[in-house]
Amino acid sequence: MGLAVECNALVKDFGDVRALDGLSFQVKNGEIYGLIGPNGAGKTTALRIVSTLLLPTSGSVEVFGQDVVDDASEIRRVISYLPEEAGAYKNLSGYEYLQFMAKFTTEDKEVIKESVDVAARISGLEERLKDKVKTYSKGMKRRLLVARALMTKPKLAVLDEPTSGLDVLHSVHVRGLVKQYVENQGVTVLLSSHNMLEVEHLCDRVALINKGKIVAEGSPAELKKNVNASNLEEVFAKVVGFV
C-alpha cells in the first residue's frame, strides 16, 4: 500500500508564533486518517499545507510523491479540500455552485452532470439545490460543501472538521457519508477534528496533536490499549499529562 501523504519534520511559523513544531506523519492510500487535538493545536495549519494553501517554514510534505511547494498544481488536480469554516457563493443556487466546482475538474458535460448528481445524492438536498445558497441553514450548507468535496472522486479528500456546526443527526449523516464513500470509491481521507469520539468511529488511524507536535499515533484501538483508556478523550488527557 503506497503513501498518500508523507509529512516530515514540518515546521510552520506565523511571525513569532510556531504553529507546527516538527510534525511528521504518513497517510496510507485508501485509509481515513485523523489529526485530532484541541483548538490551536495546529491541525488546520497542517491540512492547509497539505492542500497547498500555506508554505512550510521548514520540513517537507509530499502528496502521492509530489512536493507541496514544487508540484502544487499537480497536487491540486488530485485533492479536494474542505475548510472548517467554508462557505458557498450565496447568490448561486446549490446546483450552480456544484456545477461551477465540477467544471474545474473536467470539461466533459456528462462527467460534470454525473458529479453534480452524485453531490445531490450525497447532500440529500434534492429540490432545495435549486434555491440560492443564502437561503440554506448552516447544516444544509455544510452538507452541500461535504458533497462538493467528495463529488469529483478525488484521490485525497482533506476534510477540516467535516461535521463542524452540525447537529447530532446531521453529524451522523455526514460521518456515514464519508465512511461509505471511502469504502465504495477507494478515496483517501485526511481529516481533522477536535471531537475525539467522532474520530474514533470514523478513522482507521489517528494522530493526537498538541502544540504543533504529534504526541501519539496509531489506530484508535491501539491508542486506547497503550494507555489503558476507555476512549480517545481519555487517551489524549493521559498523553498530555492532563490527568
Partner 1 sequence: MFKGLFNIIVKEVKELVRDPKILLGMIIVPLIMFPLMGFAIQTSMEIAEESMRSISIAVMDLDKGPVAENLTNFLIALNVIIVEVDYLNFTEAVNYVQQSNVTGLVVIPSGFSNNITEGLKAELDVYTVFRGGGIVESTSSSVISALFETFEEGLVVQKIGEKFPEAPENVLDPVEMSEKSIIKGKPVNVNPGVLFGLMMLQSTGMPVGIMMLLIFAMQLAATSVASEKEEKTLETLLTLPINRFTILAGKLTGSIVVAVIGAVAYIVGFNYYMSSFMGVMPTEIGVDLATIGLAPTPISYLLLGVSLFVSLLSALALAISISIFAEDVRGAQALVGPLSMLLVFPMIIMMFTDVYALPFPLMIVLLAIPFTHPMLASKVAFTGDYLTAVIGIAYVSIFTILVLYIAARLFGTEKILTAKLKLRKLRFRKLKK
Q: Do 122 and 144 contact (CB within 8 A), yes or no? A: no
Grid coordinates belonging to 49: 499545507
Q: Do 146 and 162 contact (CB within 8 A), yes or no? A: yes
H-assigned helices in the chain: 43-50, 72-78, 94-102, 109-123, 138-151, 168-185, 196-202, 220-227, 232-239
Considering only the stretches 1-9, 33-41, 91-99, 172-180, report the one whose residues sit in contact with partner 1 under the rule CB under 8 A: 91-99
- Residues of this chain, 159-198, that bind partner 1 according to CB under 8 A: none
Q: Rule CB under 8 A: is residue 79 a binding residue for partner 1?
A: yes
Nearer to partner 1 by Cβ, of 3 and 86: the residue is 86
Tell me the three state secondary structure of residue 240: coil
Q: Rule CB under 8 A: is residue 128 a binding residue for partner 1?
A: no
Q: Rule CB under 8 A: is residue 11 a binding residue for partner 1?
A: no
Q: Rule CB under 8 A: is residue 109 a binding residue for partner 1?
A: no
H-assigned helices in 125-219: 138-151, 168-185, 196-202
Q: Among 8, 31, 57, 76, indicate the residue that binds partner 1 (CB under 8 A).
A: 76
Q: Rule CB under 8 A: is residue 103 a binding residue for partner 1?
A: yes
Q: Rule CB under 8 A: is residue 114 a binding residue for partner 1?
A: no
Chain residues that interact with partner 1, rule: CB under 8 A: 14, 48, 51-55, 73, 76-77, 79-83, 85-92, 96, 100-101, 103-105, 132, 145, 148
